[in-house]
Each structure stands twice: as structure tokens, then as C-alpha cells.
Structure 1
Amino acid sequence: MTDNATLSARSRAHVWHPCTQMKDHEWLPLVPISRAEGVWLEDFEGKRYLDAVSSWWTNIFGHRHPHIVERMKTQLDTLDHVMLAGFTHEPVVELAERLCAIAPEGLDRAFFADNGSSAVEAALKMSFHYWQNQGQTKKTKFVALDNAYHGETLGALAVGGTGLYRDAYKPLLLEPLQVPSPDCYGRAPGESWEDYSSRQFVHMEATLERHADEICAVIVEPLLQCAGSMRMYHPIYLKRLREACTRHGVHFIADEIATGFGRTGKLFACEWANVSPDFMCLSKGITGGTLALAVVLTHEDIYQAFYDDYSSYRAFLHSHSYTGSPLACAAALATLDVFEQQDWMARNRKLGHLMWMAASELLDHPHVAEVRQQGMVLAIEMAQNVRDKTPYPAEQRRGLRVYQHGLEKGVLLRPLGNVIYFMPPYVIQPEEIALMASTAIEGVNLATAD
């Protein structure tokens, strides 16, 4: 019979874990998980962990949601997989129809991939290739925000912010035009989010004015730079970006991989600004955290730029073996079904308020520079000096101390450097929010005690 220690040893012997310095696990135990249900994970010895981060932001309706599981089982009885090149199937067609129906106006074509990074790669290539097909061959550059994160494959990594994820691979990467982020952590005392984000747009406007004839697209994470320490900004930036991209003849790519499907308080973050991008990348919550799937939604005019006789060689020759997986599409359809069962945005507004109230005592903490929130995401940024927001040195790993305390108390709080965040499934209950917040508060107190 498998136990925690045995499985951990086997994993260390053969598994190279993602986003991990494996040497850490000489002293930091792995957490073996045997089963999961709702917001809870359980190890082989019966200890439970509240999944406060939705297992990397995917399990929006909790683990093993019965409707999603049942629809996947039913799908497996009839069709497991078929390639999508030259073939089609009911789940992928229905999913494309339903996504186009609920997406921002004009997004009426769906291109399928199998993970978020792949969706970003496809959108970047589509944008570049579109301009080539239109005869605008000088358009070869992309604009990206500082502190951004769009994935780990080389194209997606290239349009991320400089730093930990990107620097080691710099010689391999295309160089985007980097623009200062509109995230409001850097605003002046008393300055509103709207004023700061609007003021920051001057950098984007200047870049577009100077380089429009060589820019394919601007790519942003709407409202929330998740891997970039959960930094947040105001919707005015998206509104101004849409206007500027249209004015300068540049595509707008919205990376809604983490922000889509209700996480920010609306179904898609772009809805806060009432804008429609030229490309919208979706993944993570699309299948309720069950199987890998990604989609790029785009406009008909983008699609038509590739629609021609074979001899023109204008087709978009991009593919993945599991593109449009029937099983993953079935899970995504079930996830959309769950959204239709009740007003989840209204529920999430109440849960978001509870999260804020539960964490509010940290607003006056001597080593918490900011508590910020957007929908069902709340972030707590620890700092050595809160007056000037001097961060703790990375090597002190203050966030890791909170993580370790959380595991002791049965709460998964995976940090982003000095930032502790809540990003729980939407099925979390008030008493579970209280446990999550109290554990985080205790952890922050312990982590900043010296």
C-alpha cells in the first residue's frame, strides 16, 4: 500500500517537478496527494489541504465536480480521441459555438490548442502571419508589458517580463518592445487606480506612435498580472489600449488564460472595459481543472486572411496532436453547463467580500505593503519597509515560510516570492475562507517576525 514517504521517494527518484529547484526537496517534503474533492486535497495518510490556489488556478468549481466528471465518462464511452485535421466531432463543434456565443463581440472563430503557452504561441503566429498575408511585411514586432507572464515556450516566454523566468533563455528569444506596466502597486499615495493606470498609458501610446508600422500586436493580461506577483490595474488601460490599437492598425491580444471564466468577477476580464480584443487566449479554468485544453478566439477578418486556394500557401499550419481533444472539450462543455446552473458572478462577489473582510486585519500590518483584490483573487504583499515598499531580499524566502506554515495547518498557500494570494475554487464555503485567511495571517506574522 502506498504511503506518503514511499511515494515522495519514488517521485524524487524519477520526476523532475515543474517550476522547482529540486534540491529544495532534500529538506522540504513533497506533498503526495491520493485523492481530491471540492476544495480539498488529501494525502495518503488522511491529512487534508484546502486548495487555496485552485491547483495553479484551474479548478474553478473544485476537484471532481460531479457534472464535469460524468460528462467526461459519457464521452469516453463513445469517442476518446481523433485528430482535428480533416476530421471533426460533436464536442469541438459545440464548444466552439458556445464559446463564440459568450465571448466579447466579434470573436466568432475558435482555434484549438492544448495548453495556455500554446495558445499564446498560436496567437502571436496568427498575428504575424496575418500581416504577412496582407502584404505588410515590416510588421514583425510585438509590444509587451513589464512584469508580464504569458507562458514558458519560447515565443510566449519572449513576450513575458524580464527576470526569473526569462533571463536564462534571452539568447534564444525574440525581443519585444517592453512598456512599463500599469499595475497600481507603484501609484503615489492618494492616487486612484484609474488615474495611475491611465497615466501609465502614455508609454504605450508613445511606443505605438513610434513603431506602429513594424508592430504586429500588443499582448497583455487583462487587469491582473498573475505570475507577476498578482499585480493589478484598472480597466481604463484596456479601454485606451483597444482605442489605440485600432487607431494605429495593431492587433490586441488578450491573454485571459488565468483571468477568464469568472476569476476577476466577470466571465472575461475584458468585459470590465467593455472591449473586444483581436485575439483572446483561453485555458486553465476552461475544463474546470480536469484536462489540458486551450483556445484562441479571433475575428472573422483574421480567419479570412488565411482562407485561399492551397496554391497560395496562406494557410495557418500550426497544430498539436491533442488539438480539440473530445474528452477535454466534453469537460469544457460541462464547465459551461455549471456556469449556467446559477449566477456564479453574484456568488463570487459575496465570496470576494468575505475574503477581503477575513484578510482585512493585514491592512495595518507593519510588514504588509498592500492587500489588493480583483474578484476572486486577493493578494498580500509583504515588504521589509512598507513606507517605501522595500521588498524582502528574495533569498530570505519569506513567502516560503508562509507556505510551510500553511501546510502544517492544512492550507495550500503557494507563494509568488513575497506575495501570498488567495485564488480558491468558486465552491469554497465561508468557514473555509475563514480558515484560509486565518492561516495566511498567522503565516505572515511568523514570516515577518524577525
Structure 2
Amino acid sequence: MTERESRYDAYLEKNRRYLWNPFTQMKEYLHDEPLIVERGEGTKLIDIKGKVYYDGNASVWLNPHGHGRKELNDAIKEQLDQIAHSTLLGAANVPALDLAERLVGITPAGLNKVFYSDSGAAAVEIGLKIAYQYWQHRGESKRTTFISMKNAYHGDTIGAVSVGGMDLFHATFEKMLFPTEKVSYPYPYRFQGTEAECMHAALAELEQSLQQNGECIAGVIVEPLVQGAGGMIMMPAGFLKKVEELCRDHGVLLIADEVATGFGRTGEMFACDHEEVSPDIMTLGKKLTGGYLPVAATLTTDEIYDAFYADPHEMKTFFHGHSYTGNQLGCAVALANLDIYENEGVLEHVQALSRFTAKKLRQIAELEHVGEVRQKGLMIGIELVADRTSKAPYPADVGMGKKVCRRARQLGLITRPLGDVITFMPMLVTSEAEMEEMIAILAQAIAEVTV
């Protein structure tokens, strides 16, 4: 046994004895020679055996510029020489204030106040609590219900799960959740119709819910343009704008969850930008710090903020916060991350790379057991099916998505499945040559395993 192999075995034993991995069935994981990462370089991951892989999952969708980016490393080192952290409760700090100003400057018009947290789920939780309390301060105490989309995913805290719509993740906790109104997402497989028919039906369902329950609705929460964890399901063009219009017509808040779609993933800085949508509340996370540190943000309008702005005896304070809220290291690296977007034409690169990627994905779309390839910018889902003509799925116990991802890893590409949908979320910095190589690996893995 080599020294590297011996070291791997030692760390695998530590994983077995001490670590419980998230979203992971540990019995299967520990039986399947887990990946143990030691370092990263650019778009690559290197495990403790020294094997190199493409990071085709952008480390759970959050690394835009690659591992070991010098500008981001330097920003953290420079901030460390000042201070690592001080509380934002009843105080402020320089990087948090600078970042808030930058975020207000790049997000849709009207979002002028920033509330920090440490994860996308927490950002959603905060958005829901702000919306709920806003209506209480407005004297409309009946507005306690949220409308969300079926098949949605907004995070794993209780409020975020309550507005989620994925039974696979959420059904176990049903008795812990608060009730919400769920409306259909406009997708042909759900409605068995054309895209236009699906869009019309979904909007009619949302409008009916608003008409029947309008005085009780606090807000509508939606993943703009793409349902990510739900299987990379794409919205029809114009649907998001219609949702915004319905919210305005019925006087309810629109909450846009941009945790997965934000910061260039869809080809614009935010998915809302594609249709010039300005939500009342927007949640951000993942790529905010360039994939370095856990900082998230919830942005609101001045109107919402002003409903909390009062004398102490009025008890309108928003009593929510995290110990590391507005952490200086995280905010400093987030500022450096935004500098890269601004200085290096990241959005233009994503737009060009998306067009290149669409052409290269045709080889995968033509494979016998690929039912559909879905793409918006660099958010990509490849749906595997048992029968291409009928779109019949594989039996759940086959685990075809996992098998394909396992083979892709053997070939040098790391990504994860959502059931039998292979997610492909390459880093935004990816070159055309790297993209071509990754797609070739995916095509080979799918062709070999599905046969």
C-alpha cells in the first residue's frame, strides 16, 4: 500500500467514526470509496490520493471564479490584519457597510436595505419573517400565509422547508411546518400541454389563489427562472414578469429567492434582470463570497424597512440575528468577488460560454436514454429516462443518476444527481476547452452506464 493510499484509509476511518455528511445516505456513501478533497486549483479538485477532477458542481453551485483565486485570498489576508469579526448587533463594521452599498447598487431597483446572515436558507427564513412582521406593523394581521410553487426548494430551515415543495426532502418534517398555499409550476410534464398552455394554467391558478385568499396572503415566493434542486426546471419566458404583475395587482409582497440563480449563473447578474423584475424582497447566498465564506443577504425595499423604523417602546424591532452576521472576513472577500465580476467581464463570458455550451450539449441530447437537456446560462440539468420516446423514468431503485455520476467521477468529473437528473453547474470562469472536455466526460458516462 502506498503512502497516499494509507493516508486515504486513515481519513476514511475518521469519516466513518466522526463525520455525518449532509444530504448523504451514510451507508451508501461509506461503502462507495468516498471522495476526500485535499486541495483545489482553478476549476479542478485534487483528492488526498493525488487524483485530479473537474469541479462540475462548482462546490454545490457556489464557486464562480475557481479555487485558490489570488485576489480573494489576498482580501481575506488583508482583512485579517485589521480584525476577523465583531458583532453587528447594535454596531457596524467597514466591510459590511461597503458590501451593503455594493449590493444595493447591483440588485434590482428599489432594494435599498441589506440584512446579513450566513446561508441561503437563513436568508429565506429572514425574508419570510420580515414579510410576516411587516404586515403586522401595517395593521393587516390576517396576512400570515405564503404562496409558493410546487416542486420548489428554498432551503432546509423550518420556514424555508414550509414554503418548499419537494416531498423527497420535506415530507418527513410535515408536522413541524406551517401551512402554505402551493400553486403549480409552469412545466409541460406537470400539465401535459404546450409551454404556452402550461404558463396560462399556472398563472390562472396563482391568480385564483390570490383572488380567493388575497387578504390573508403575506407574499409569493419564487425561484426566478429556474427551479434548481427541483430538477433544473425552466420557467417559460415572461412567466416571472406576470407573477410580479399579479402580486402588484393584489397588493402582496414578491419574494425572489436568488440564492442559486444569482451572481451571473443564468447569464445576467440576477435572474430577475432577464425580465426587469423588481421584487420586494430578494435573498442571496452561494456565490456572494466567491465560494469562500458563509455570507448571505436578504434585501428589502425602503417601504418594508420603514415599517420597522420606530421608537423602542413601539416594539417594532426585527428580533433576528446570527452571531457571525456581517462577518468582516466574509464581507471583505465578497467585495473582492464583486470586483472580479466588474473588472473581468464575467457576465459577458458566461453569455458567450452558454452559447458554446448549448452547441456542445447536443451530443448529450441525442443519447438514447436522455429525455431532455435543460439549460439557462450555466445552470444545466440532464434528465435520464428509461425510454426516450415515452419519457418513462427509470424505477427509483435503479439509481441511474447516481451510477452516471459515479462513472463521471471515475473519468475525472465531479457532479451530483437530483434523482435521475444530472446537474451540471460548471464554474463561471470555465474555458471553452475545459467545457468541451467536461461535456465529453458526461456524454461518455451516460452512454456507458445507461447501456
Task: Output the amino acid matched with 2:435.
Answer: I
Residue 356 of structure 2 aligns with which residue?
354
Alpha-carbon distance between aligned partners in 2 of 1:235 and 1:15, rounded to the nearest angstrom: 43
Among candidates 176, 179, 192, match of residue 180 of structure 2? 176
* Cα shift at 1:198: 4.1
Residue of structure 2 aligned with 1:335, choices 331, 334, 337: 337
Q: Alignment identity in percent?
A: 38
1:134 matched residue in structure 2: 138
After TM superposition, give the deviation of residue 50 of structure 1 in Å: 0.2
Q: Shift of residue 238 of structure 1? A: 1.0
The 5 A counterparts of 1:183-262 are: 183-186=187-190, 191=194, 193=195, 196-262=198-264
Kept after mapping to 2: 8 A contact 1:184/1:233: no
Tell me the equivalent position of 2:151: 147
Contact conserved, 1:198 with 1:236, CA < 8 A, in 2?
Answer: no
Q: Any idea what SS the aligned residue of 1:152 has?
A: coil
Instruction: Kindly provide the amino acid, as one letter, of the partner of residue 314 in structure 1.
Output: K
The 2-side partners of 1:150 and 1:49 are apart by 29
Helix, strand or coil for the counterpart of 2:67? Answer: coil
Counterparts in 2 of 1:300 and 1:51: CA distance versus 1, 3 Å: same
Matched-pair contact (CA < 8 Å) for 1:114–1:323: yes
Equivalent residue in structure 2 for 1:432, among 434, 439, 444: 434
Amino acid in structure 2 at the alignment position of 1:77: D
User: SS at the partner of 1:266?
Assistant: coil
Deviations 1:40-64 (A, max 9, x none): 0001221001001100000011112
Aligned Cα root-mean-square deviation (Å): 1.4
1:113 paired residue among 100, 117, 120: 117
TM-score by length of 1: 0.97
Query: What is aligned with 2:47?
Result: 43
Which TM-score applies when normalising by structure 2?
0.96
| 2:88–2:325 contact (8 Å) kept in structure 1 | yes
**1:17-71 Cα deviation digits (max 9, x unpaired):** 0000101134211111111011100012210010011000000111121111111
Matches of 1:430 and 1:272, distance apart in 2: 24
Structure 1 residue 186: deviation in Å? Answer: 4.5
Among 24, 31, 43, the alignment partner of 2:28 is 24
Matched residues in 2 for 1:185 and 1:335: separation?
38
Letter in 2 for 1:21: Q
SS at match of 1:83: coil
| Aligned residue-pair number | 447
The equivalent residue for 1:423 is 425
- Residue type of the partner of 1:250? V
Q: How far apart are the structure 2 equivalents of 1:394 and 1:153? A: 27
Summarize the Cα distance change of 1:90–1:424 in structure 2 as closer, same or farther, 3 Å threshold: same
- The 5-angstrom pairing of residues 377-396 of structure 1 reads 377-396=379-398
Other structure's SS at 2:37 match: coil
Kept in 2: contact 1:184–1:231 (CA 8 A)? no
CA distance in 2, matches of 1:74, 1:184: 51
| Deviation string, structure 1 residues 124-178 (Cα, Å, up to 9, x no partner) | 0000000011110111111010110000011101111141110000000012101
Does 2:79 match 1:57? no
Which of 99, 103, 107 aligns to 2:103? It is 99
Task: Write the distance in 1 (CA, Å) between the matches of 2:365 and 2:104.
Answer: 41
Deviation per CA, 1:346-392: give whole Å up to 9, x if none.
21122112222222123232321111110011211011223332211
Question: How far is the alpha carbon of 1:234 from its aligned partner?
Answer: 2.2
Q: Is residue 169 of structure 2 the alignment partner of residue 165 of structure 1? A: yes
